[in-house]
Amino acid sequence: MRAVLVVNPQATATTPGGRDVLAHALASEVKLDVVETTHRGHAAEIGAAAREDGVDLVVAHGGDGTVNEVVNGVLPAPGDDHAPRADVPMLAVVPGGSANVFARALGYPADPVEATHVLLDALVRGRGRRIGLGAADDRWFTFSAGMGWDADVVAGVDRIRGKEAGPALYTRVAVRSYFWPAHSRPELTLRVDDEEPVTVRSAFLSNTDPWSYLGTRPIRLNPGAAFERGIGVFAPRSLDIISVLGYLRRALSASGCKPRRGLVQRDSAHTVSVTSEKAVNLQVDGDLVGERTSVEFRSVGDALTVVV
């Protein structure tokens, strides 16, 4: 089996020593090439080259942004033809970021060394899992996407250079973005599948549960979401402080958020469109894509094989 290990040396939990241990361990099971990323978008370039070269497995060692780039590299851009591709490499993940939402949702341990052991055992035993992905126009996402408040938070964190992107930083930026939104929080028009359009204040999309983590605690906006079910939708009609505190309390509970008045919540939507008269931020898997006035989100089943 031929494999490529993609390492983001700038990720929070990646170290040269950890990279070497991982590479040595993988090389005992596969024919391995190791490539370190040097710029934004590089992981996608490596993934695309791996697909073109007929590589069997791509291992992403970094944060969720690195994983997202790799996925967008190994897969052709989302389009009308969603049939599984035989030339797409399998994907494995060894966590190296601060949140590692996708890896943890798949069942990988948060510790890179423990995750390496799980990966090696999966390779020896030939374990693989087919999962569905989400698409935001021409960009794949593995666990979440959003327009509005959550994307504003990502944009705020992205502007702060030279600081570690941990839970405390995200919390501070989330509070600041709530009280002083960059786009004055314009109304969004949301349409889920064939339902009538509704007006909401923010749109959170999930491809699995949990939506994200606050440190070690999962944030469960759509407890019924899963990689095999479709897109989860969590779209508040209002972001008044009482509603937001209620959503947060329930999202951090063991059972997660449940349907309630003033909230559009679906666990398995096929298509979701979001439009706005004013451009708002769009994020996918915690990476800022840019400003958009409309985005079409789609669920694509049976899109990728992950080793876990």
Distances (CA, A) of 287 to 153, 155, 282: 10, 8, 9
Q: Which of 196, 278, 263 is nearest to 233 (CA)?
A: 263
pTM: 0.94
**pLDDT, position 164:** 65
**248-299 confidence digits (pLDDT tens):** 999 999 999 999 999 999 999 999 999 999 999 999 999 999 999 999 999 9
The confidence band for 185, taking pLDDT boundaries of 50, 70 and 90, is confident
Helix (H) or strand (E) holding 123: helix 112-125
**pLDDT, position 5:** 98
**59-80 confidence digits (pLDDT tens):** 999 999 999 999 999 999 998 5
Q: What is the CATH number of domain 2-127?
A: 3.40.50.10330
Q: Which string of b and e fits 281-298 if b means at least 16 CB within 10 Å?
A: bbbbbbbbbebbeebebb
**95-140 confidence digits (pLDDT tens):** 999 899 999 999 999 999 999 999 999 999 999 999 999 999 999 9
- Output the CA angle 67-99-308, nearest 5 degrees: 55
**pLDDT, position 81:** 63
Q: How far apart are the two ends of the chain, measured CA to CA in Å?
A: 16
137: left (phi over 0), alpha (psi -120 to 50) or beta: left
Distances (CA, A) of 167 to 93, 210, 215, 248: 21, 16, 6, 15
Strand partners, 147: 203, 282
**pLDDT, position 276:** 97
Fold (CATH) for 141-306: Tumour Suppressor Smad4 (2.60.200)
Domain boundaries, given as residue ranges, for the chain: 2-127, 141-306
**pLDDT, position 230:** 95
**pLDDT, position 79:** 80
Q: What 3-state DSSP class applies to 220? A: coil
**pLDDT, position 158:** 87
Q: What 3-state DSSP class applies to 146? A: strand
Residue labelled with tokens 């070269």? 53
